[in-house]
Amino acid sequence: MGFQKDFAWGAATSAYQIEGAAEEDGKGRNIWDVYTREPGKVYEGHTGDIACDHYHRFREDVAIMKEMGLKAYRFSINWARVLPEGKGKVNEAGIAFYDQLIDALLEAGIEPYITLYHWELPYALYLKGGWMNEKIVDWFGAYAGLISERFSDRVTHFFTLNEPQCFVGLGFLTGGHAPGLRAPLRDTFQMGHNVLKAHGRAVQMLRLHAKQPIEVGIAPTGTMCYPATDAPQDIDAARQQLFAVEELENWTWGVSWWSDPVLLGHYPEEGLRKYEAYLPRITQEDLKLISEPIDFYGQNIYNGKCVRMGGDGKPEIVKRYEGFPKTAIQWPVTPECLYWGPRFLQERYQKPIYITENGLSCQDSISLDGKVHDPARIDFLARYLRELKRAVEDGVDIRGYFQWSLMDNFEWACGYSERFGLIFVDYQTQKRIWKDSAYWYRDLIRENGDGL
Ligand code: IFM
């Protein structure tokens, strides 16, 4: 037994990271359009103004996906491209772009998976307080309604938010991402709560405007945990550690603080105690909205911590040995996280799972032979996907896997210095070159992962 026949082998991208066309056809600005212009914020002053020029080259990109044999493609809508002010007047040219993209995907036999929010907060809404303003629950809801209204005749899978951990944490707590604030803790908790309420409202609005039955989920991130040994106490320690809440200064990075309210209808007790002094008023009505039922659970998984049960009966993180393998962006290579992560998440949340992102950045370049050789990516993916397959074989209901990323793109504060793609993008010419890993992934999809 291996991956199910209709397993969604996919790749993912996000709007700001690939689209470019930052000021075309009536698009409004978002916080990244503005942030990237501030000196010193992004590596060598890079911006997403052009990025992979996907806005103009999407047909070529869909042709690549088709050749790769992708079954599914996860992309985000650039909120200010369809609603330049974030609300109110619709930009039909923006809608037309996504209409064409969706049609091209369907024609190529690729299932579109839409993410509503992959960090593209319209600047006009930011000026009104953005995630701090409770009205964003309705703004995001209206936006979700519009997307459903226009696209759900052809698209049946939607994710509300990508990685609230990052866009609240990096954007508003540590300030390394747009809009680059270090807001007081109390404000960040308020924001987090608004974010979750906005998710709930979006779920309602997606369904309300749907033209056919749709499936809705969320795509958070987090560092997974895996046990040091197969001993039950280490497994239990890893599970406990995965769902523990973080220390106050890192609070956004936890898994349970975001996912428990969505899936279980309450914030974790441990967090309510630890963060008490900073929390906003949380009502039963809020929790009901936040836990509006969803159909599946997405999780972005890149790495994990090795955990064992300590002598004091508390989970203990095992120190990595010197020279532990890591990717170009310095993230540890820990394939086990793709077995234990989905397993623990499904135990707790009881939903089908999609791995909504997984991948790595490498020091890719064009070799003398004109090709891009990336053995490290192939090795990484093979190791990780073997673990995912093991999870499937042990009964974890995993419906799909989205490799991050289809092509090299704008890696936020790192600009174009990190390459996460299966497809190499030469930013001087916008030429797309298949990396060896893209061929490898194509072959893997053809055999439905059997050879892993
Ligand atoms: O590029 C990002 C993506 O936008 C969100 N998840 C992690 C990726 C790699 O850093």
Mutate to test the pocket of ligand 1, among 161, 411, 422 (most ligand atoms within 8 A of CB): 411
Q: Which residues are catalytic?
A: 163, 357
Instruction: Collect the ranges in the chain with pLDDT lower than 70.
Output: none
Beta bridge partners of 296: 217
pLDDT tens per residue, range 291-310: 999 999 999 999 999 999 99
pLDDT score recorded for residue 393: 98
For every residue of 348-384, DSSP letters joined together read HH-S-EEEEEE---B-----TTS-B--HHHHHHHHHH
Mutate to test the pocket of ligand 1, among 420, 422, 425 (most ligand atoms within 8 A of CB): 420
CA of 1 to the centre of ligand 1 (A): 31
Q: Which domains does the chain have, with CATH numbers?
A: 8-446 (3.20.20.80)
pLDDT score recorded for residue 188: 98
pLDDT score recorded for residue 402: 99
pLDDT score recorded for residue 196: 99
pLDDT score recorded for residue 219: 98
Q: Strand 315-317 to strand 304-309: parallel, antiparallel, or no bridges (unpaired)? A: antiparallel
> Whose CA is closest to atom 4 on ligand 1?
14
Q: Which atom of ligand 1 is nearest to the CA of 420?
A: 9
CA of 27 to the centre of ligand 1 (A): 23
For every residue of 30-64, DSSP letters joined together read BHHHHHTTSTTSSGGG--SSSTT-HHHHHHHHHHH
pTM: 0.98
pLDDT tens per residue, range 356-408: 999 999 999 999 999 999 999 999 999 999 999 999 999 999 999 999 999 99
CA of 326 to the centre of ligand 1 (A): 16
Q: Where are the alpha helices (DSSP H) in 222-324?
A: 232-243, 256-264, 269-274, 284-290
Encode burial over 127-158: b for 16+ CB neighbours within 10 A, e otherwise: ebebbbbeebbebbbbbbbbbbbbbbeebbbb
pLDDT score recorded for residue 1: 81
